Amino acid sequence: MRFQEGRLNLQPDLIDMTFIQNIQSAAIKSLKEIFDEDFTEKDFQVNETKPEFTGDYTIVLFALVKTLKLSPEKLGATLGEYLVKNYSDFFSGFNVIKGFLNLEIAGKQLTGLLNEHYASEAFAKNTSGPHKKIMVEYSSPNTNKPLHLGHLRNNFIGWSVAEILKADGNEVIKSSIVNDRGIHICKSMIAWEMFANGATPESTDQKGDHLVGEYYVQFNNEYKREVEGLINDGLSKEEAEKEAPIMLKTQQMLLDWEQSKPEVIDLWKKMNSWVYKGFDETYKRIGCDFDHTYYESNTYLLGKDIVQEGLEKNILFKKDDGSIWIDLSEEKLGEKLLLRADGTSVYMTQDIGLAKQKFEEYHLDKSIYVIGDEQLHHMKVLKEILKKLGFPFADELFHLSYGMVELTTGKMKSREGTVVDADDIVNEMIETAAKHTEELGKVKDFTEDELKELYEILGLGAMKFYLLRVDPKKRMIFNPEESIDFHGFTGPFVQYTYARIQSILRKIKAEGNDINAAETLDSNELLPLERELIISLEKYNNAIQDAAKEMTPAIIANYVYHLAKLFNSFYSEHSVANAESQEKKQLRVRLSIMTANVIKSALQLLGIKVPDRM
RNA sequence: GGCCCCGUAGCUCAGUUGGAUAGAGCAACAGCCUUCUAAGCUGUGGGUCACACGUUCGAGUCGUGUCGGGGUCACCA
């Protein structure tokens, strides 16, 4: 955020910063001038002032007291006076309570911020930023079953983190690796051959991913049945699991696939295409997109040459049976197999190859993997192997791990069919949105299409906000019995605030006012809620930076909720259209426009759209 | 068993590099629509921040230990 030059008598290098950064800089400079002591921003804290005290920002003095050998009260008074005197355009007052120096930001500074930024839709987005090239891999589905609630969390987090990193000034490539081969894919194929009688998405009027998923479940039912039968015939559990005919058939199919047997490849292509079509529909609906899609069927042989090289350099070693390993016992990660005795590769081998390919293809500075936390160990090992193999990019791999979504009734398991299906839950949310909207009856003049669009905006808004407001790394519990709320700390709450602001602006325009009148406001007298709102708007910048640094959309969700909440208080307390004076009206119009812009922008980072009416 | 993560109000979650009397929403209760949309606003009740010790001016936050929950330690992906 920029302060207007000339308005603020800070040094030129202090201009391009947030309020907090400005306060830190001003304090450091003042301390140097008063006491001739050098401090950095890490030596003391600048916080927001707690509501029960007067002031906007607070400098915590305790840490400075030791060095300066002054009482906190004396230091606070000295520094406060100096700051207000020398930065009079920025600070209008101060008070000291115990070790806390509370500072008030000058009203002029706040109205100045409004004047400059209220109409900017790109407010707080970083355009001069680090410009790092970052790949965010997310979603990465299996083609043997439809997406469920856990995948939605992954998709929303991945998409949103990518957008947040863009807003923080980086170039971002969204990618996905489709897990389209392997024994699990063959399971659905075998079951389809055995039980489907040629059923297709068209013949059953079903989404392709759902159809294929059904046969994956059916495989497991049949497998279980066969194993039980064999155990009854006297086989041990292990033997039965190995000998079950359906499993033997599946393993044969995997071999046939690897040898490109035409009828297997044809079936594989056919069933995969059904799934892709289904996925595309879901992705489109939930607003996910990818700049590049990798397919495991193309990448599963990657990494073999790297392993050979590693062997030649003695970084890896060969066991008597010919299998190739890496020794990570120094890192307390044990030994890890990289190539089987028969020369075929494992999951890790491919990940090594793909990591390298990504960095080389895109010249990345950083590669982020949005993957569930059950793979923390795998990703740790991957990173360590790459490091040992001498790849400099190893340090730039980042596993953005997120916790499982669990149900109140227990874990979701695709194999057992105990999942909350992604399409189902999205449909439910949209239906709920429709129900609420109809009950309230505020948009009776909407056309069918307008209503449909509104329901999608609200239903998906509720859904996305619900999954994104929680810190990704924490696992979360979902109660399928209770539908996701539309009141309180929710997407629709924030969307509602936006819609109400649009309503205000419509009214003011309808009265013949120009809401973009060019005159500059110079009011120094702001009411408490007006002050709080501007200060809250200013913090959007911090929210983006923090969210990008921590890679968590939850920071944006919390920020925008608090902003909306604050605006709602302001809304019920003060009138915009019937403000006490023309000047107040102008101020509040700008405040409303800027709030709406920031809400729209922040929700956009979460993949949530805003309605003009609801 | 080894390693990793988590434990904050009845429930779901915030709580910035340690800072002032730990905050929201839901649920409960009480108010507020003749005034820009009540999907809203205002208020009340609700806490041994799992437990113990330690570090220090100060600990929900850092350290050690204990208890409880989860994950992982595949020639699966």
Are the CB atoms for A32 and A68 separated by under 8 Å? no
Q: Report whether pLDDT(A1) > 80.
A: no
pLDDT of residue A449: 97
Write the DSSP string, A560-581: HHHHHHHHHHHHHHS-STT-SS
Rounded mean pLDDT of chain A?
Answer: 91
A535-574 residues near strand B (Cβ < 7 Å): 542, 546, 554-555, 558, 561, 565, 568-569, 571-574
Which candidate, A41, A316, A375, A427, places its Cα nearest to that of A179?
A375
Give yes or no for CB of A377 within 7 Å of strand B: yes
Q: Report whether pLDDT(A211) > 50.
A: yes
Mean pLDDT of A230-248: 90
pLDDT of residue A16: 58
In the structure, how far is the CA atom of residue A498 from the C1' atom of nucleotide B45, in angstroms?
32
Q: Report whether pLDDT(A500) > 80.
A: yes
pLDDT of residue A66: 82
**A131's tokens:** 């410009």
Supply the DSSP symbol for A421: B
Note the pLDDT tens digit of each residue in A367-415. 999 999 999 999 999 999 999 999 999 999 999 999 999 887 778 887 7
Nucleotide with the nearest C1' to A296 CA: B77
Dist CA A234 CA A386 (whole Å): 47
Q: Report whether pLDDT(A13) > 50.
A: no
Q: Report whether pLDDT(A131) > 90.
A: no
pLDDT of residue A517: 66
Runs of H (alpha helix) within A291-375: 296-299, 304-312, 347-362
User: Where residue A237 falls among pLDDT bands split at 50, 70, 90?
Assistant: confident
Are the CB atoms for A603 and A460 separated by under 8 Å? no
Which candidate, A534, A538, A540, A536, places its Cα nearest to that of A588?
A534
User: Where residue A435 falls among pLDDT bands split at 50, 70, 90?
Assistant: very high
A194-233 residues near strand B (Cβ < 7 Å): none
Mean pLDDT of A34-52: 90
Mean pLDDT of A183-192: 95
Mean pLDDT of A222-238: 91
Protein footprint on strand B: which nucleotides are under 7 Å from a CB? 2-6, 11-17, 19-21, 24-27, 35-42, 57-58, 70-77
Mean pLDDT of A476-500: 91
Q: Which residue has the higher pLDDT, A403 or A122?
A: A403
User: Where residue A11 falls among pLDDT bands split at 50, 70, 90?
Assistant: very low
Note the pLDDT tens digit of each residue in A132-180. 999 999 999 999 999 999 999 999 999 999 999 999 999 999 999 999 9
In the structure, how far is the CA atom of residue A327 from the C1' atom of nucleotide B38, in angstroms?
65
pLDDT of residue A418: 79
In the structure, how far is the CA atom of residue A490 from the C1' atom of nucleotide B24, in angstroms?
11
Which candidate, A31, A122, A32, A29, places its Cα nearest to that of A78?
A31
pTM over 0.80: yes
Q: Which residue has the higher pLDDT, A483 or A341?
A: A341
**A217: three-class secondary structure by DSSP:** helix
Q: Report whether pLDDT(A10) > 50.
A: no
Which candidate, A10, A17, A23, A88, places its Cα nearest to that of A49?
A23
Question: Does the ipTM surpass 0.90?
Answer: yes
